[in-house]
């Protein structure tokens, strides 16, 4: 049973390392089937999702087609923000949005241009995993994701060699005795 758990854990670490490192090398966020995982770093959208959660956003949407009540992720001042649309504005054929965090008292001071929208929250949330995702995408976390699978494989090989040598010794002693 512990062999199965060890194998599953190793596969999860290796898959996480592959996704994070491939996205780091490509210069974009991890994307799977048109969805990106984002870490929630503030409590502005509680209780919809908690600080430290990861959320999935759909990046295949037309950014000018969102409606009041949709939760969107957008770029503002080199930061990603995920808030709910409270008003859709159309001026000269250009669509923009007024947004607000569910846990905030007031509407955001900025107006979100449709061109800065990254995607729409699709309802998928995993609590607390965002802390790990945020750490894994840091330089130290990426380095650990390279080191940990290698160390686990090395440890597994050493343990296999030790177990084989013990079996060999027992077999050798039983043949002699």
Q: Is 156 a known active-site residue?
A: no
Sheet architecture: strand order including 117-126: 31-32, 35-39, 54-58, 117-126, 71-76, 79-91, 94-100, 111-113
By CB atoms closer than 10 A (0-12, 13-18, 19+), residue 134 is middle
Cβ partners under 8 Å of residue 107, min gap 6: 86, 87, 98, 99, 100
Computed over its alpha carbons, how large is the radius of gyration of the chain? Answer: 24
Per the residue annotation, which of 22, 42, 115, 165 is the catalytic one?
A: 42
Catalytic residue positions, numbered: 42
């Amino acid at each position: 049973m512990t062999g199965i758990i060890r194998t599953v854990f190793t596969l999860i670490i290796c898959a996480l390392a592959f996704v994070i490192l491939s996205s780091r090398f490509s210069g974009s966020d991890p994307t799977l089937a048109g969805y990106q995982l984002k870490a929630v770093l503030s409590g502005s959208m509680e209780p919809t999702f908690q600080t430290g959660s990861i959320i999935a956003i759909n990046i295949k949407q037309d950014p000018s087609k969102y409606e009041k009540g949709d939760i969107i992720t957008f770029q503002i001042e080199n930061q990603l923000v995920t808030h709910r649309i409270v008003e859709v504005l159309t001026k000269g054929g250009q669509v923009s949005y007024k947004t607000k965090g569910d846990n905030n008292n007031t509407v955001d001071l900025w107006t979100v241009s449709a061109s800065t929208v990254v995607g729409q929250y699709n309802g998928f949330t995993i609590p607390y995993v965002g802390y790990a995702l945020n750490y894994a995408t840091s330089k130290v976390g990426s380095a650990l994701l390279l080191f940990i699978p290698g160390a686990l494989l090395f440890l597994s090989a050493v343990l296999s060699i030790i177990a084989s040598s013990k079996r060999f010794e027992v077999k050798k002693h039983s043949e002699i005795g």
